[in-house]
Each structure stands twice: as structure tokens, then as C-alpha cells.
Amino acid sequence: MKKVTLQMIADQLQISKSLVSKALANQKGVNEETKEKVRLTAMNMGYMINSSALSISASRTGNVAVVVPRSDLKDFEYWGRILHGIEKALSEKSFSMILSGIDPNVATSEGLPSCVTDRKVDGALVLGAVPLAYILAIQVTGIPVVLVDVPHFVQMKLDHVLAENNLGGYDATKYLLDRNHRRIGFVGDVSYASSFAARHAGFLDAVKDFKTEREVEIEAVSFTDARGDSIIPYSLGDADIERIRETGLTGLVCGNDPVAFEVMQSLERVGLSCPQDVSLIGFDNVQKCQWVTPALTSIDACKETMGTRSAEMLFRRMQQTDFRAEHVRITTEIIERESVRSL
């Protein structure tokens, strides 16, 4: 295979070789759009990082960077379980975790953690809604990278650990259908993350399969418009509540547990109770599921296992840099509580 050079990348983009070099080195004076375009092109062309030029230490640092948006750290119950799995797996190999929060709105030249830019770590685990520009900036340093539950970038040829979101959405829906719910809905902004889109796809697949196998009529309604915020990615409006009443929905699959908690409160405000009027199933099985009344039935994605598995993949990537990237999906399990009733 012909070695890809800086000049070949420059020719592909019709820019100067020096601009390519500066972009790959994440230097100031190059705008972020150009950096991202150069990095993407370099990766797609198979450009190999020159390790010696990056002054890599001959010995291991014993450190791994865990890069996560600071806004995601507000939801520490969710990410904390993944971080616990990572820390446990790293400590077993005598590695330390350097937790590095980033601001996705800041340019990579300013916001990329110094432990990464100065190559004070042996690898990086990227968690949550980290922008593509940051992932590419970390990748071009030559540091091994593993993605953990990163939305929107499931097509990237990088090692990636995710929950089996499609199957989880399928199982949650079938759980309602098996309990004789025939008018059901899915609640969650599918543009929020690829995980929500996959869970919604599982919802639709389960409805389709059940109708075919049982030859029964099912009314399925989707509340999937862009709405809510980074913590609660959907909030039922008055029109949604009216639609639930009009269609007589008896069960809802929610994109995640925070959505389910919000839906539960919205239903209570208009005099609808869970599970007597509407049964609810969440996703992620956060600890709060046990505290609310009624306790929330939820899909558990085993977040600690996701963290452990991602660290194991990173160790392997450190040892074997040339093997093909893997996407590992951790299977889910329904945790039954009190928010679903049989009809």
C-alpha cells in the first residue's frame, strides 16, 4: 500500500502542505472547520501518524484520559456507573484515570485537555456527546482512542462500546404488548442521540412483529419531535397530553429514565396516574427508578460493564494498533418494578 504523505492530503484538498501540517498539529491560526476537514481527509486516506515526530515517551505513563463534556457530568448518576467500571478495570492494570471535562463550544486548540496534547497519557476514552472535531483532534495525536456511548458517530471506524439500544427498545415494547397493551407510544427526541433513534426503531420493529405474529391491531404513536434539554430530552406538551387522551394510550416506552420521570409528573398534573391509567417503561435503570412512586420499570444497559469493556478494548488497542476497529454492544435487561400493569 502506498504511503500517504502530507503533500497527498494537501493535493486532495487543494491547500498548502504547510497548512495541512499545522492543522494536524492543532496549531493556532488555522480555523476549526479547516482542521476538521484536514483531519477527516487524513483519516479517510489512511494517513499514519509519525510517532517519533510527536516526541512520544518510550515508556508508558500509566495514565488514561477520560474525555467527557462538562455538561454530561451533571448527570453523574448515569456516567458515574460507566466511570466506576473504567476506574476498576484501569486499576487492575495499575493505570490511573485522568478525568478531563471539555466545553464542546470551545475550539479544540483551546479546549483539548493538556494531558492529551502533551501526550501525558497512553490512551483516551471518549464519553458522551463529544463533538467530532475533538474526536479527530485526539485521534491525530496518535494516542489510541475508544469511544463509549458517543451519540451520532456509530459509523466511525473507531472502537466503540454502546448499549444494545435497538434490542432494548424492542424488549420494552414487547413487555407492554405481552401484557395486553394495544394502544402504546414512544416518547423521546430521536434527534437527541443515535441511542434514542435506535430505541425508537426497536419500538417500531416490535409493534410490526407483534402485529404480524398475533394478527392483532395495535395503535402505536410516536412523540419524537426535538424538544427538551440536554438533561431531559423530551417534555410532554399540552397537545401531547391531549393526544394521549384522545387515542386512549395505556402504555409508553420512554427514551430514557429522565424522560419517564418527566412524563410521570406531566400525567399526574392532568389527573392521569401511573400505572392505573398509563403504564411507563424507562431506559438506563438509574437509582432514582427505585425512589419514585410508583417505582419505575426500566431497561438496564449495565453501564459498569460498558466502562469495564471499554478499558479492556483500550488495553488491546495499545498493544495492537493495526487490528480492525470493533463496535461492541452490551445487551440489556428489563428490571421489573411497579410502573406497568397488565390489562
pLDDT in tens, 139-149: 878 888 999 98
The shares of helix, strand and coil residues in the chain, as percent rounded to the nearest 5, are: 45, 15, 40
Question: What are the angstrom distances between the C-alpha of 114 and each of 4, 46, 100, 127, 192?
Answer: 28, 26, 9, 17, 29
pLDDT in tens, 50-68: 443 344 444 578 899 999 8
Secondary structure tally for the chain: helices H, strands E: 12, 12
pTM here is 0.77
Going through 59-215 in order, the beta strands assigned E by DSSP cover 63-69, 96-102, 123-127, 145-148, 159-163, 183-187
What pLDDT sits at residue 56?
Answer: 41
Which amino acid belongs to residue 149?
Answer: D
What pLDDT sits at residue 72?
Answer: 76
For the purposes of burial, counting CB atoms within 10 Å of the CB of 213, is it exposed (0-12), middle (13-18) or buried (19 or more)? exposed
Q: Is the pLDDT of residue 120 over 60?
A: yes
